[in-house]
Amino acid sequence: MKKIDLHMHSTASDGTFPPAVIVEMAAAAGLAAAALTDHDTTDGIDEFMAAGRAHPEMLTIPGIEISTLFDGREVHIVGLFIDHHNPGLIKFIERIQGERHDRNLKLVEKLGLAGYSVSLEEVEAISGGKIIGRPHFAQVIKEKYGFNTLQDVFENCLKRGTPGFHPRVLPQPAEAINAIHAAGGVTIWAHPVYRHQNERSWLRRVLRKLAPEGLDAVEAYYSKFDASQTKVVIELAKEFNLALAGGSDFHGENSPGVTPGDGFGGLEVPENLLPPLLEIAKKYILKPSDTSNQELKEE
């Protein structure tokens, strides 16, 4: 059985490879399907889908990853098979991007007060796209102030509790779910667990809220998951009648040890997860005049 990868990032957000290069890497890895899911933007999708036409053996999927807030913690909602030109989705994304920009101005201010002089122009120059995130700030700080790794920058300057941290204003998960559905997409809760304490209770608490609000699937296969975490997600997905998904969360050089379709310890996202997601997608397919989606088909 071939592998798939339904969670990857390009230079359109905080990855280091252009969308077309990711397509070539995914095809070289022999993937049956690959999705581009940049943070809060669809800017790379046209390039990604155009490059995918040279590889008819691999399904290329237009997607997005939207950060939301639930009970004080970030919950990331991935949308797959979206119409990335949908006016409602574009308007929603523009709102999120505006709030991200406001946060970035605060980061510049707080980092300066902490002794790290960083201008927004410096960060924009290395971003490669209009979506500016903390990894871009970390790259600038690493070079200017001699940190050994990007993780060191986060630990000292950018993560919650450090002098340079400033939270983003984030939408509620239901807003992201509704916007993705309105654009013809399937909704997935990405990397739903990342701690080793009370993971099952956290999953159940969130799914009790999000499943009735229209969540379609959960990401059970993920680069940083161990076997026990995958098992917990699969069990809770079954309990809440949700489909399964998976992906590498590839960010290029910003995700060492992760490549399209592969991750720490040999990530295996099985191809047989795809048909149920395609079946769900049929519920949200827009009229031909309203969508530029790649035609959904099962092989």
Within-domain flag for 166: no
- Which CATH number characterizes residue 200's domain? 3.20.20.140
Q: What pLDDT, in 10s, does the model give residues 166-210?
A: 988 899 999 999 999 999 999 999 999 977 678 899 999 999 999
Q: pLDDT band at 290, cuts 50/70/90?
A: very low
- Cα separation, 127 vs 212, whole angstroms: 37
Q: Which two tokens stand for residue 146?
A: 């001699």
- Which CATH number characterizes residue 115's domain? 1.10.150
Looking at the structure, tell me whether residues 176 and 252 fall in a common domain.
yes
Which residues constitute the domain of residue 275?
Answer: 4-93+172-290
- Cα separation, 131 vs 133, whole angstroms: 6
Question: Any bridge partners for residue 8, and if so which?
Answer: 250
Q: For 84-93, what is the mean pLDDT?
A: 96
36: nearest Cα among 278, 275, 121, 25: 25
- Cα separation, 276 vs 200, whole angstroms: 24
Q: Count other Cβ atoms within 10 Å, centred on residue 175.
A: 17
Q: What pLDDT, in 10s, does the model give residues 66-86?
A: 999 999 899 999 999 999 999
Q: Which two tokens stand for residue 45?
A: 């999708």
Percent with pLDDT over 70 in the chain? 94
Q: What is the pTM of this model?
A: 0.87
CB contact set of 254 (below 8 Å; sequence gap of 6+) = 14, 15, 16, 135, 150
- Please give the single-letter amino acid code of residue 92: F
Within-domain flag for 164: no
Average pLDDT along the chain: 91
Residue 286 confidence (pLDDT)? 62
Q: What pLDDT, in 10s, does the model give residues 93-148?
A: 999 999 989 999 999 999 999 999 999 999 988 876 677 888 889 989 999 999 99
Number of domains in the chain: 2
Looking at the structure, tell me whether residues 89 and 29 fall in a common domain.
yes
pLDDT at residue 40 tops 90: yes
Within-domain flag for 124: yes
